[in-house]
């Protein structure tokens, strides 16, 4: 916000020059002595107008090429939400691309710039899938907002997408400090699944602590979950809590321990009610490979993590939870749930298949949105065995 003292301190007097005498009507003024400031302003204006004219002409040419290639006089360029770049008909030529967004981050080769229609197999018929409905469940402190790139890419590919705000998260108004159980925290998800029609199935996607949340929902509604995808998520075993999972690998994420700020809304003599994350450590912990604009979004959108659900042990059975097909997506540059901890969970409860996002931090929906999208679509196409 700046230094308030500076704002209210007396302003330093500024010396002003006396107005120059007008040269108009001066008999001593030569015929070539025009006002040099007027001349400079005029030159700058002409240059600026010329640049605008050239840019407008270039845009018009690109627009006309787009119309001709599509055989139509209407329409707009495909827009890739994840990087704010426009290309006519997916052309990535340096000569024709329009200016980039404010993000100066170089795109990784592991997350190539592709249009949504390129990421989804054009031969795929969504009606042939067991379900084309993705339900996205955020991690601790996040909200449905964190999936904005994934939502856009999936919807543009024809999929149905629902992003859930768990209790006390995102725009949900519940006080995080008042959440006393996992069932209470996951209620927005379980309410949604309960209202689905009989026979209607979904693909649950859980990130971070959202992994424990979708596991809880899988135990309650196994017939409404076609597949479960854990993205850098807590994939627990029966009788295990998220806290147990982290404690098994003590020291695996020292940065996480440094970032945690416990909230004691019931007093210091009682257990913590929530956990905040030190905003000065957010980038290093969660977004070490993500664009700055997404880090800024997270820094103003993240909320407290309820503490009680983290302590709660899951009750998972083979006849319910065990019947749902599980898939895991590893994130190789993760500082919150390191790859060693992810592999430990995978070995303890092996899923059907494991995928790895190279160069992805703990938030691949920001750092590797295109690659994450492709994996989600690929998993949706895996047929039943």
Q: What are the catalytic residues? A: 208, 334, 362
Please check whether residue 354 is in contact with residue 327, taking contact to mean a CB–CB distance below 8 angstroms: yes
Please check whether residue 327 is in contact with residue 228, taking contact to mean a CB–CB distance below 8 angstroms: yes
Strands 79-80 and 274-277: unpaired
Alpha-carbon span 340 to 347, nearest angstrom: 11
Alpha-carbon span 280 to 282, nearest angstrom: 6
Alpha-carbon span 168 to 376, nearest angstrom: 27
The closest of 197, 193, 203 to 130, measured between CA atoms, is 203
Sheet strands (E) in the chain: 79-80, 85-86, 133-137, 160-164, 202-207, 225-231, 260-263, 274-277, 305-306, 325-331, 353-357
26: its two tokens: 């001066």
Write out 19-59 in H/E/C secondary structure.
Answer: CCCCCCCCCCCCCCCCCHHHHHHHHHHHHHHHHHHHHHHHH
The closest of 233, 234, 235, 231 to 373, measured between CA atoms, is 231
Alpha-carbon span 86 to 158, nearest angstrom: 21
DSSP 184-217: HHHHHHHHHHHHSPTT--EEEEEETTHHHHHHHH
């Amino acid at each position: 916000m700046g230094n308030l003292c500076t704002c209210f301190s007396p302003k330093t007097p500024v010396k002003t020059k006396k107005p120059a005498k007008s040269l108009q009507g001066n008999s001593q003024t030569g015929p070539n002595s025009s006002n040099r400031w007027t001349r400079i302003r005029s030159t700058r204006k002409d240059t600026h107008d010329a640049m605008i004219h050239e840019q407008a002409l270039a845009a018009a040419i690109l627009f006309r090429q787009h119309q001709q290639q599509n055989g139509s006089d209407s329409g707009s360029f495909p827009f890739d939400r994840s990087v704010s770049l426009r290309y006519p008909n997916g052309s990535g030529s340096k000569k024709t691309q329009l200016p980039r967004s404010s993000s100066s981050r170089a795109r990784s080769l592991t997350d190539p710039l592709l249009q949504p229609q390129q990421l989804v197999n054009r031969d795929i018929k969504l009606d042939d899938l067991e379900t084309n409905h993705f339900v996205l469940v955020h991690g601790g402190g996040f909200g449905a907002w964190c999936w904005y790139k994934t939502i856009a890419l999936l919807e543009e590919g024809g999929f149905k997408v629902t992003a859930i705000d768990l209790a006390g998260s995102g725009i949900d108004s519940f006080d995080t400090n008042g959440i006393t159980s996992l069932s209470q925290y996951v209620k927005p998800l379980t309410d949604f699944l309960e209202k689905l029609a009989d026979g209607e199935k979904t693909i649950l996607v859980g990130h971070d602590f959202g992994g424990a949340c979708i596991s809880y929902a899988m135990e309650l509604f196994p017939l409404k979950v076609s597949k479960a995808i854990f993205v850098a998520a807590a994939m627990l075993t029966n009788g295990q809590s998220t806290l147990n999972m982290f404690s098994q690998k003590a020291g695996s994420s020292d940065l996480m321990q440094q970032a945690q700020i416990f909230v004691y809304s019931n007093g210091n003599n009682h257990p913590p009610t929530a956990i905040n994350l030190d905003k000065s450590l957010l980038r290093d912990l969660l977004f070490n490979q993500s664009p700055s604009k997404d880090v800024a979004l997270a820094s103003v959108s993240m909320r407290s993590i309820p503490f009680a659900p983290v302590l709660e042990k899951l009750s998972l059975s083979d006849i319910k939870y065990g019947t749902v097909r599980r898939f895991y997506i590893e994130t190789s540059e993760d500082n919150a749930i390191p790859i060693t901890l992810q592999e430990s969970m995978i070995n303890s409860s092996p899923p059907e298949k494991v995928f790895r996002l190279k160069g992805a931090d703990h938030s691949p929906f920001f750092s590797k949105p295109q690659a994450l999208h492709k994996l989600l679509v690929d998993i949706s196409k895996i047929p039943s065995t």
